[in-house]
Amino acid sequence: MKYVQVAALAVILITANSFAQDRIYRCGNEYTNTVPSPQKKGCKLLEGSNVTVVQGTRVAAAGPARAPASSAGQRVDATEQKSRDSDARQILESELIKTQERQLELLKEYNNGAPEKRPDEVANSQKYLDRVAALKASLARNESDMAGIRRELGRVSSTSAAK
């Protein structure tokens, strides 16, 4: 009895699905199901397949082309380049000072590998060890940052000295 009900349900679903689809015509690159006389426009009837059309985005009308303010191939005035180099040097020097101050703070807190224990670390020695390891890593990272800034300062100095 169940087999008959399942078979009847399957037949109903299949026939309902076939009635739900309209005729689909292809007219060049356009697909439509509302063409009154498809042969007149050179449209062809598509059978036996479902068509999914995804609308693309339209390209905006091209306006007048603008050249970027300073592209890689253009030369810059010597005075403008000197001011840029000066600005870069000032920024790098201020970053170096901040990094050196941070290094001093970290060294003070690290206390040669024996920082003071915090109240929550007295009972939990693993927390203390984790903090010591994090401080050591921060010191190494900060030292690396200072070396990088010094290298950049050297490049800025050598570039301005070469001109």
**Tens digit of pLDDT for each residue in 60-81?**
766 555 555 555 668 889 899 8
pLDDT of res. 87: 93
Strands 30-32 and 24-27: antiparallel
64 to each of 11, 57, 156, how far by Cα in Å?
Answer: 62, 21, 37
Task: Detail the DSSP E strand segments found in the chain.
Answer: 24-27, 30-32, 44-46
Residue type, 39: Q
Full-model pTM: 0.51
